Amino acid sequence: MSAPDLFYLMWKLSLNPEVPAKSRGILAAAMVYFISPIDLFPEAVFGPIGYLDDIALAAYVLNRIINDTPPQLVKQYWLGEHDVLMVIKNILINADRFIGKGLWDRVKRKIG
């Protein structure tokens, strides 16, 4: 349910010059992964479950970037019903459980 809101947030933050250039680049890479048909759990094969890795990656990237971004920007662009920080925290907790901690740790190391 959070996928569209997370993608929109990444998109808006990636276009905002107040977000550091390095962070905007990371956001752009995460958005490419999000829309790419080639990923850990392809949607064509796994159906809606295929969005788990996309959502987890978006949450991980946003969690990192929120620390370097003015909080008002993040809140301004967040369209979700619940607090963005709580949504991200819950996604990251569930990512460990559903994706598997070992696999998830390797994905996070690749991102840096």
Share of the chain above pLDDT 90, in %: 30
- 52-75 tens-digit pLDDT: 888 888 998 998 888 888 888 888
- 16-58 tens-digit pLDDT: 999 999 999 999 999 998 888 777 766 667 666 667 888 888 9
What are the structural domain ranges in the chain?
3-111
Are 52 and 99 in contact, with CB atoms under 8 Å apart?
yes
pTM of the predicted protein model: 0.80
The DSSP H or E segment spanning 59 is helix 51-66
Residue with tokens 């992964």: 33
Are 10 and 27 in contact, with CB atoms under 8 Å apart?
yes
Give the tokens for residue 84.
Answer: 């963005």
Amino acid 5: pLDDT: 93
Q: How far is CA 8 from CA 54, 97, 100, in A?
A: 13, 25, 26
Residue predicted with more confidence, 87 or 50 = 87
